[in-house]
């Protein structure tokens, strides 16, 4: 199930299931997910399930929308990512399989630690291959005539 987990200021936790239609997060009474705080715009952002995760779209909010500490206007949440809306933090739980966005992020992480393209591809290719067979035992020092 695709959902968002939030811990509210009073300490209670809430799990918000995401269905097939987008949900609006905001302070307006018409928002699907209502957050009461001066830092929350009436219609702050939307969240919607997509093939690659949970799509987040900022609705030109006054204080912005952040994912894992980075300001975004539009982005895909992956499992475990933090969506920050004003003082509220949601944790994404995604039931979708890893897609293109995940692949790109994995490649970026490898490049960030200094691996080159050929090294990274070589490691991927090596993971898909069986180890070479061991050579047959020949008459060594223990062999008797």
- pTM to 2 decimals? 0.65
pLDDT tens, residue order, the chain (145 aa): 799 999 887 888 999 999 889 999 999 999 999 999 999 999 999 999 988 889 999 999 999 999 999 999 999 998 899 999 999 999 999 875 555 566 666 777 777 777 776 776 677 666 655 555 666 666 555 555 5
Q: Please state, in angstroms and rounded to a whole number, the distance separating the CA atoms of residues 34 and 38.
A: 12
């Amino acid at each position: 199930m695709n959902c968002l987990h939030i811990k509210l200021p009073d300490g209670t936790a809430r799990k918000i299931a995401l269905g097939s239609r987008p949900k609006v997060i905001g302070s307006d009474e018409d928002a699907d997910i209502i957050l009461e705080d001066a830092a929350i715009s009436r219609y702050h952002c939307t969240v919607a399930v997509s093939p690659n995760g949970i799509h987040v779209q900022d609705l030109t909010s006054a204080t912005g929308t952040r994912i894992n500490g980075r300001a975004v206007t539009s982005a895909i949440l992956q499992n475990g990512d933090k969506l920050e809306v004003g003082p509220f933090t949601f944790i994404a739980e995604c039931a979708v399989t890893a897609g293109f966005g995940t692949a790109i992020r994995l490649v970026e992480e490898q490049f960030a630690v200094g691996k080159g393209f050929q090294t990274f591809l070589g490691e991927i290719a090596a993971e898909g291959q069986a180890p070479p067979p061991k050579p047959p035992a020949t008459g060594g020092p223990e062999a008797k005539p």
